[in-house]
Structure 1
């Protein structure tokens, strides 16, 4: 798994590639928690290059959502492949997260002037 971040105005974007499972989720969790520790309130996770997500990956997304909800922040998920979206739906997480077809639509949904 590889993970990178970028800043689009007031939005922190996390790009993950590969598998997000029990073996790799710790790195993703550390990266996301570091952004939250710095005070981000707008988090976008781009799943374009994620091939697989396990319950460990789902746990990270849920923990991030809960943490952001406590500070009136938000998290958006973009570019989920159909198989990944199905995992979120089966787990009921589609009721908790907003999914976007691409990064640009997700950025626009935050209501900022950020551009991709």
Structure 2
């Protein structure tokens, strides 16, 4: 499964596939641009993601910039395992709300 986005009630959920890496850049950028609105909040769902690379970290930073650093507007959900360790090492818990489950 690739990356899929859906919007409901101002919440854009981006479901990631098995790998969140440089090959996903264009699609992620297109989704972020499509839903670029000061009203929208983003939920990045890592439930099926087993791997991410440094470009994925960069994509998340671009989304953070788009949302003007508002920690309440971007949530990383269903984060576990290796992906969680990568985010911890990069101190992304200081930049984003990170949840082990899909809670809002």
Q: What residue is the counterpart of 2:25 in the other structure?
A: 25
Q: Deviations over 1:21-70 (max 9, x none)?
A: 1222222222222211xx15311110101111111111010110111026
Q: Per-residue deviation at 1:74?
A: 1.2
Q: What residue is the counterpart of 1:13 in the other structure?
A: 13
Q: What residue is the counterpart of 1:65 in the other structure?
A: 64
**Counterparts of 1:53 and 1:83 in 2: how far apart (Å)?**
9
The structure that is helix-richer by fraction is 1
**Counterparts of 1:49 and 1:70 in 2: how far apart (Å)?**
26
Q: Deviations over 1:59-99 (max 9, x none)?
A: 01011011102689710010012210110111121111101
- Count of aligned pairs: 103
The structure that is strand-richer by fraction is 1
| Aligned-residue RMSD, C-alpha | 2.0
**Counterparts of 2:74 and 2:92 in 1: how far apart (Å)?**
13
User: Which sections of structure 2, spanning at least 5 residues, go unmatched?
Assistant: none
TM-score, normalisation: structure 2: 0.85
User: Which sections of structure 1, spanning at least 5 residues, go unmatched?
Assistant: 107-116
TM-score, normalisation: structure 1: 0.77
Equivalent residue runs for 1:1-116 within 5 Å: 2-36=2-36, 39=37, 40-69=39-68, 74-103=73-102, 105-106=103-104
Q: Which has more radius of gyration?
A: 1
